[in-house]
Amino acid sequence: MLIFRTKSDIQRHLNAFNSAENKIGFIPTMGALHQGHISLIDESVKRGLYTICSIFVNPTQFNDKRDLENYPRTLDSDIQLLEKSGCNAVFVPSVEEIYPSEDTRKFSFGNLDSLLEGKHRPGHFLGVAKVVSILFEIIKPDFAFFGSKDYQQVLVIKELTKQLNLPITIVPCSIIREKDGLAMSSRNTLLSETERKAASLIPELMKKVKEWKGRGLLISEIKQKIETELAKNPIYKLEYFEVCDKTTLFPLNELTPNIKPIALIACFVGKIRLIDNLEL
Ligand code: PAF
């Protein structure tokens, strides 16, 4: 696997590349790689694409400085994991390489900016849009793969690609879960043993939502039950739980047959903020 640290090096490599014969599959990451990331690489490799991964902890998408400082950084083991996957090349730029000067661009994603993650992490999607557009510009992939745990991020990136008119197919991939159902996330490594055990309640509750919906409960009743369950243990701090329209993410007050619903949750377990979602 080739390792590139600068834009000019990876671009020189890609310029010599026969893009008519080889299509590029790209997996942008912030490192601390786990099986969820590897499943994205597998998806690209399975499609016969020249597979490039990037590892870059993007400072502009963190609205909390401490969160940025604490974000796990495990470059050596990431590279080992990538070597074993079918990844062809990895791009590991520095902050100066991606942002040689302040990126003052603005993007607007309508409701996506102000709902759920957009509301609770102001500026987060602006930072994601900045870095993803820069990485897309450098790598010029044909396909880019993203995990559906960050469901709203996938919608934002699809919208970004549309707004910038980029010829890139965005491929959302299924959430990969631990044995107890917890959605894989780089942040899971930051949980203490007690928090890790407690975290499994989140996917359990999401499963129950499906069951409650099946039993005909109203969305307001489902929300109430989620709040009650999480309030039983002070380790949890619910940030939001919503049932939304799958395509617009507009929160729903009632279920109607013509709208496909998705349940989304963000909840602190101790100091660690976890998110999950389930199509209903
Ligand atoms: O999902 C992530 O890990 C990040 O938001 C991304 C897409 C790599 C941008 O920094």
Domain positions in the chain are: 2-173, 186-274
Q: What one-letter code names the amino acid at 15?
A: N
Q: Is the pLDDT of residue 19 over 90?
A: no
Q: What one-letter code names the amino acid at 94?
A: S
Q: Can you read off the two tokens belonging to residue 59?
A: 């400072």
Q: Is the pLDDT of residue 18 over 80?
A: no
pLDDT, residue 207, reads: 96
d(CA 115, CA 248): 10
Closest Cα to atom 2 of ligand 1: 29
Q: Can you read off the two tokens belonging to residue 76?
A: 């050596």
* Residues in Cβ contact with 226 at an 8 Å cutoff, skipping those fewer than 6 apart: 205, 209, 238, 241, 265
CA 233 to ligand 1 center in whole angstroms = 31
> Given the CA of residue 132, which atom of ligand 1 is nearest to it?
9
Split at pLDDT 50, 70, 90, the class of 129 is very high
Q: Is 28 in the pocket of ligand 1 (CB under 6 A)?
A: yes
Q: Is 131 in the pocket of ligand 1 (CB under 6 A)?
A: yes
Per residue in 29-60, pLDDT (tens digit) is 999 999 999 999 999 999 999 999 999 999 99
13 in active site: no
Q: Is the pLDDT of residue 119 over 80?
A: yes
Strands 272-279 and 261-269: antiparallel
User: Do the domains 186-274 and 2-173 match in fold?
Assistant: no
Which string of DSSP letters, residue by residue, matches 27-63?
Answer: EEE-S---HHHHHHHHHHHHTT-EEEEEE---GGG-S
CATH architecture of structural domain 186-274: 2-Layer Sandwich (3.30)
d(CA 78, CA 84): 10
Q: Which CATH number is associated with domain 2-173?
A: 3.40.50.620
Q: What is the pTM for the complete model shown?
A: 0.97
Q: Is 186 in the pocket of ligand 1 (CB under 6 A)?
A: no
Q: Can you read off the two tokens belonging to residue 108?
A: 């607007």
Average pLDDT, the chain: 96
